[in-house]
């Protein structure tokens, strides 16, 4: 199988290479694709050097599968060109997520949505993925009406420049002088600002949580009110979720359903200081759930704390899992 990774030198692109290796995905040839400034550089895959090429060169080589992590503008330009050659495209940007003709997929939840859609499959936003992983079994049982979520997102969600800004500020006790990722200091600080602000005063990141959750769970009646916050953590996103259901529930039922959900692990023993933390989630593909408790202020309402590695399950791992599903369904050539 010929596989291309577009954006191969970025944080998510690097993680895509690692996850493909870890999962022994049957890649017979890797096409390492990046912008013109990276063309000619070498990247490692399965212990071998691979030379970076431009998107146009990769299209000519007609890969079977293309993993995109190069931003929305690049995806909008190049994903349809790969699709036109017959390739399956899995895009990590927001370019195709709300396109009615493209499936928005979390493999544990809705692979059936791929049927009858384009060969461009959208990977959801990292914060959305971990939230719906925890809420999906509960929605099936009790029916979600409304979600209030506050995110605590690591700087790796912004990219390598943001990680550099955090570490530079921490070492030197001053804001990075050259091309900072954020408009304010991030070390020893918290920014209620992820992505750009929209006309409704919510950020694009916050509205992604609303729109994407409704599409993945297949319900336009679910309301999601989000506040997305950037915190001085290198990797791993955390979320405080308050969810109101149509039906009553017991915490024991919730815990049992979460323990049975593939890809989810319950870490919830406050008496012994056991609860999910980004430090423990980093490097893992699991979505961790804890602080499970009823909201005593209103009926049929639950509080959860959800943590996951945003570069893995929040991005690269979810994309590779989609590719594994395509392979299992005979939609990709097995080596």
Longest dimension (CA), the chain: 60
Nearest CA to 76 among 101, 98, 93, 58? 93
- The Cα 35–Cα 74 span in angstroms is 9
User: Are the CB atoms for 67 and 322 separated by under 8 Å?
Assistant: no
Whether pTM exceeds 0.85: yes
Tokens standing for residue 314: 């929040």
Q: Is 218 helix (H, G, I), strand (E, B) or coil?
A: coil
39 with 68: CB under 8 angstroms? no
Confidence of residue 122 (pLDDT cuts 50, 70, 90): very high
Rounded distance between C-alpha atoms, residue 61 and residue 29, angstroms: 11
| Secondary structure (DSSP) of 268-313 | -BGGGTB---HHHHTT--PEEEEEEEE-TTSTTEEEEEEEE-TTII
**Band (172; pLDDT cuts 50, 70, 90):** confident
User: Rounded to an integer, what distance in angstroms lies between the CA atom of residue 140 and that of residue 262?
Assistant: 15
Identify the pLDDT of residue 243.
98
pLDDT over 80 at 175, yes or no: no
Q: What is the CATH number of domain 2-124+315-328?
A: 3.40.50.720
Phi, psi of 200 (to 5 degrees): -90, 10
Return d(Cα 300, Cα 147) in angstroms, integer.
12
Confidence category of residue 335, pLDDT binned at 50, 70, 90:
low
Residues belonging to the active site: 126, 237
Answer whether 2-124+315-328 and 127-310 agree in fold: no
Tens of pLDDT, residue by residue over 294-328, are 999 999 999 999 999 999 999 999 999 999 999 99
Q: How high does pLDDT run on average in the chain?
A: 97
Single out the residue of 154, 98, 113, 109 nearest to residue 279, CA to CA: 154
Query: Which tokens in the block code for residue 43?
Result: 């990247």
Which 3 state secondary structure label does DSSP give 228?
strand
181, pLDDT greater than 90 = yes
Q: Where are the domains of the chain?
A: 2-124+315-328, 127-310
Helical spans, DSSP H, in the chain: 11-22, 55-60, 72-84, 107-110, 126-142, 160-172, 204-217, 251-260, 278-281, 317-328
Give the tens place of pLDDT for each residue, 38-55: 999 999 999 999 999 999
Q: What would the 3-class secondary structure string for 25-61 be?
A: CCCCEEEEECCHHHCCCEEEECCEEEEEECHHHHHHC
Q: Give me 1's structure tokens.
A: 């199988």
Write the CATH number of the domain with boundaries 127-310. 3.30.360.10
* Helices 317-328/11-22 angle, 10° precision: 40
Beta carbons of 152 and 281 less than 8 angstroms apart:
no
| Residue 233: predicted pLDDT | 97
Q: What are 246's two structure tokens?
A: 């149509």
Q: Which pLDDT belongs to residue 174?
A: 73
């Amino acid at each position: 199988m010929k596989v291309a990774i577009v954006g191969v030198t970025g944080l998510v692109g690097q993680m895509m290479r690692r996850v493909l290796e870890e999962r022994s995905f049957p890649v017979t040839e890797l096409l390492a694709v990046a912008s013109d400034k990276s063309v000619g550089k070498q990247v490692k895959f399965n212990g071998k050097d691979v030379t970076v090429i431009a998107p146009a060169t990769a299209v000519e080589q007609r890969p079977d599968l293309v993993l995109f992590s190069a931003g929305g503008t690049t995806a909008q330009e190049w994903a349809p060109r790969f699709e036109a050659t017959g390739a399956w495209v899995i895009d990590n940007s927001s370019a195709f997520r709300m396109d009615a003709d493209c499936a928005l997929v979390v493999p544990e939840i809705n692979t059936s949505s791929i049927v009858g859609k384009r060969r461009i499959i959208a990977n959801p936003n990292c914060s959305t993925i971990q939230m719906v992983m925890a809420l999906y079994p509960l929605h099936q049982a009790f029916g979600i009406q409304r979600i209030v979520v506050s995110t605590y997102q690591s700087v790796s969600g912004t990219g390598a420049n943001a990680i550099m800004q955090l570490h530079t500020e921490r070492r030197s006790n001053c804001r990075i002088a050259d091309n900072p990722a954020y408009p304010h200091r991030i070390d020893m600080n918290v920014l209620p600002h992820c992505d750009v602000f929209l006309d409704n005063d919510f950020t694009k990141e916050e509205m992604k949580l609303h729109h994407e959750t409704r599409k993945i769970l297949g319900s336009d009646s679910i309301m999601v009110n989000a506040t997305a916050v950037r915190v001085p953590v290198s990797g791993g996103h955390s979320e405080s979720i308050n969810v109101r259901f149509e039906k009553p529930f017991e915490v024991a039922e919730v815990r049992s359903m979460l323990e049975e959900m593939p890809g989810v692990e319950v870490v919830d023993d406050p008496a012994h200081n056991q609860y999910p933390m980004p430090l423990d989630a980093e490097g893992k593909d699991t979505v961790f759930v804890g602080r499970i408790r009823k909201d005593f202020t209103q009926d049929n309402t639950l509080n959860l704390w959800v943590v996951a590695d945003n570069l893995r399950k929040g991005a690269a791992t979810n994309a590779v899992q989609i590719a594994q599903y395509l392979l299992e369904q005979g939609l990709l050539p097995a080596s």
